[in-house]
Structure 1
Amino acid sequence: MLQTLSLPRLSRKAVIAAATMLALLAAAAALWAQVEGDRGIAPVASSGDIEVGGVEVDVRGENAEDAREKGWREAQRKAWEKLGGPDIPDSQLQGLVAAVVIEQENIGPRRYVARLGVTFDRGRAGALLGASGRGPGSAPMLLVPVTRSAGTYMVYEARNPWQRAWAEYQAGSSRINYVRPSGAGGDSLLITYGQTDRRSRTWWRNVLDQFSAADVLVPVAHLDYKWPGGPIEGRFTARYGPDNAYLDSFTLTAESPEQLQPMLDQAVLRFNAIFERALAEGKLRPDPTLDLGTVEADRAIQRLIELGRAALARDRSDAAAREAELIGETAPGEAATPPAAAQVATYLVQFATPDAGAFDASIAAVRAAPGVRSAAVTSTAIGGHSVMSVGYAGSMDQLAEALRARGFTVRQSGNVISISR
């Protein structure tokens, strides 16, 4: 007869503990896999020089070196004309040039065909151009470069040509104050394409605070590869703000994969022109609803607030009158002791956040509780429990009662209050 062999009690516990440890290690490895790897591209340091890119030249010379020198001089003149500079001799113009950037070049025995970028020193060229700047700059704008290709949307999940084009863009001469994350580490988890479809102001404010930005710009590049090794059509759309509002769009085409990066570099310049035009038209002002401390309320709500404040003032006046009567009844020589003012203390409140809607609703409800002076999120965990720091004029027990009155289930443990619906 077969008998079933059972492990000893101690062995079963050891097996369960080992399985639990393996599960934890697997979860940690999966989380690390989401942020490991070479996915970040650090943006270049921006200077204040004036840069003009995409200057096309096609010249001939006595030899390759002479043709190249003539091509660079022609590129400098064309770039100066694009800036609207006055007529000056080549010798003086040469002294204003800080650098010539080779975007693409083909050198023959007596011919030079290239696309160049010319950088002028702002200190020397600014006076001739009539101003040292190009007008007031924008507020810090978080840049979220989205790539769509083969039905997949990508931001920082992997290194890509669109991210590289923005990282290598010299933004010193732009009126837009770009905030360009490198995409390394947790950037790829915090800034995703899905984030651009969220409308929660609280969620957006938490993201923007991580990068000290006031609003967001979303340049979208939709790349359509016609066939392997063939042309690539790029459809580009400029969007901005937490509502993903549309600004403008355009189309460019690269004849081959080798021409993709130059096409994207040109698209970056077009996007910058779109954003600068929107800034001049007053469209790129930071969304006031992102500033949670200065959101304008509806007039009806403002009226209710005013009525509430008036009622509170009457109650305080009545209380003061009753206190004066009590003081009058105090025996001579006895000093009436004034009531102690409530001290504002800070408490940690843990709240369940299964989704972004519950996150916003919980914060709003806590801030509306009587006696709450402030409520700032210190830890966000959508799908779990988040933590906020609450400034309250009273004791922890009083805060717990105020939160119960707002419909929360409240549990106290030490110096922490846990709330849920």
Structure 2
Amino acid sequence: MKNALLIATACLLGLLSTTGASLPYPILPPLFVNGAPDSLTHFLGLPPKLLFALALMVNPIGLLLGTAVLGSLSDRYGRRPLLLVTAVGAAIGHVLTAWALASRSYPLFLVARFGTGLLEGHSAIVRAMLADRLQGPLRNHALSWLNGALHLGWLVGPLLAGFTIAWGLTIPFYIAAGALLLGAALVGFALERKPRAAGPSWWSVARERHAFNLLRHDGLRALFGVQLAYTCGVTAFYEFYPLWLVEVGHYDTRAIALVNVGMCGLMTCSALFAGRASRTEPMRRAAWLAACVALAIGSLGVGHLWVGLVGIMAFGLPHAFYNAVVQAWAADRFGGGHGQGAVMGLLSTTFCLANILMAAAGAVLTLVDTRLVLLTGAILTAWAANRMRAWGSGAMAGLPPAA
């Protein structure tokens, strides 16, 4: 398959994946904070903010389980069949989400979001597909372009929600389901079918070759630790800056979507150029970028609307470059020895775990002040920046050099 078609297919799947994951972000805060009390927003008489945080948490739990094993399963069974199953399954999950909203069923909403997350964890598969079919600068650029498509999904999802919700609360989810079915059709056309090789069952692969098995290795365990801290800050920002906008600026779904357009637009444009080579050691470069991300997240803790808006917009630039640096470095350093699917799965799984942890923390902290979640995220990201700086300079005892 030609490289251009390979890259285009990967980028489209990445775009559709994060579009679906980010779709509820501008919908849920106004729905739970300002919506009329009913069986969805006041389920069992629980506080709406708590229900909102749980709704945020359940999708990443599914993503965590999916990304932990999907990359390794694709190493064993091939990228094409796994991508087909996950794309169609995620489309069904969006349809179930729409039904849950229409019927005002909070339990069904949680089940649907969990199932969608479980099958939307195929970003590890598309990263691995690029990592093991491309080499050198082209691979770095392709991974960066894929990151751009993933970032663009964080723009398209909220934008889709903001500008179609006037037609009905369920319409954005039906549109996302249709787009995923089109993506599945493209996978069937663009990726060649390969004969299935004999080997262990899918359950054996999932149990024995999941991404967390990589934590037995010192270098990958260190990467997991700093990446988890960094992504805790990022997911705290993603999950709770819309709620911050509702509380501080009294924004509605459309206004939140417009702010997201500015942030993700800058992030997407930055990702297109983030794969360029640099003479700076990768971990030291990542450390400076993570510090800038921490500063942007921390600006929301001031509680001033315009200061926070500047921070939201500025967030996208260093985050896009950080992703390009760390993913390309991990593919070069660890992918050959441990399998690109497993390594990319570990990175994706780390992001999902961070989503769960910060949604759980937010369920408690937002009952006091939403800014506490964002400040906690900024502190964790700053800590990660410090650890990456130490690793890049060879100051982390017991670890091999980062270069």
TM-score range, shorter chain: under 0.3
**Greater gyration radius:** 1
- Which is helix-richer, 1 or 2? 2
- Which is strand-richer, 1 or 2? 1
In the superposition, the TM-score normalised over structure 2's length comes to: 0.20
In the superposition, the TM-score normalised over structure 1's length comes to: 0.20
